[in-house]
């Protein structure tokens, strides 16, 4: 089951990379505020990806049960912050790019 979660999360992140961010980067060429937001989130994404990858690697074999709750709470918080930042900062910009 944990492998399914990892696969779905990676699929979602790839979809964002392929569909959302190229449009936003194009828009950022003429929008300094958006450019700064994207740079900030891009820096954060490296930390998010590293933490999530470490979590899935650690629990791939089903061991370390004593740490699972604490580690899961950590990645949940990291992902929640990331999602909230994207929804608050990027999605309104993305919606502007969509034709009416």
Report d(CA 58, CA 63) in Å as an integer: 8
In the block, tokens 């650690």 appear at 58
Is the per-residue pLDDT at 65 higher than 90? no
Q: Please tell me the predicted confidence (pLDDT) of residue 52.
A: 87
Report d(CA 73, CA 39) in Å as an integer: 26
pLDDT above 70 as % of the chain: 97
pLDDT digits (tens, 9 = 90+) for 69-84: 999 999 999 999 888 9
Write down the mean pLDDT value for the chain. Answer: 86
Query: CB under 8 Å to 71, separation ≥6 — which residues?
Result: 55, 58, 59, 64
Token couple for 21: 């961010």
Report d(CA 24, CA 89) in Å as an integer: 11
When pLDDT is averaged across residues 53-81 and rounded to a whole number, the result is 89
pTM here is 0.74
Q: Please tell me the predicted confidence (pLDDT) of residue 47.
A: 81
Report d(CA 71, CA 40) in Å as an integer: 24
Report d(CA 45, CA 38) in Å as an integer: 10
DSSP code of residue 89: I
């Amino acid at each position: 089951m944990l492998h399914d979660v990892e696969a779905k999360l990676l699929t979602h992140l790839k979809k964002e990379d392929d569909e959302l961010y190229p449009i936003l980067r194009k828009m950022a060429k003429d929008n300094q505020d958006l450019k700064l937001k994207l740079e900030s989130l891009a820096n954060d994404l490296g930390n998010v990806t590293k933490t999530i990858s470490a979590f899935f690697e650690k629990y791939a074999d089903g061991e370390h049960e004593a740490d699972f709750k604490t580690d899961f709470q950590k990645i949940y918080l990291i992902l929640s912050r990331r999602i909230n930042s994207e929804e608050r900062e990027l999605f309104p910009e993305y919606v502007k790019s969509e034709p009416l």
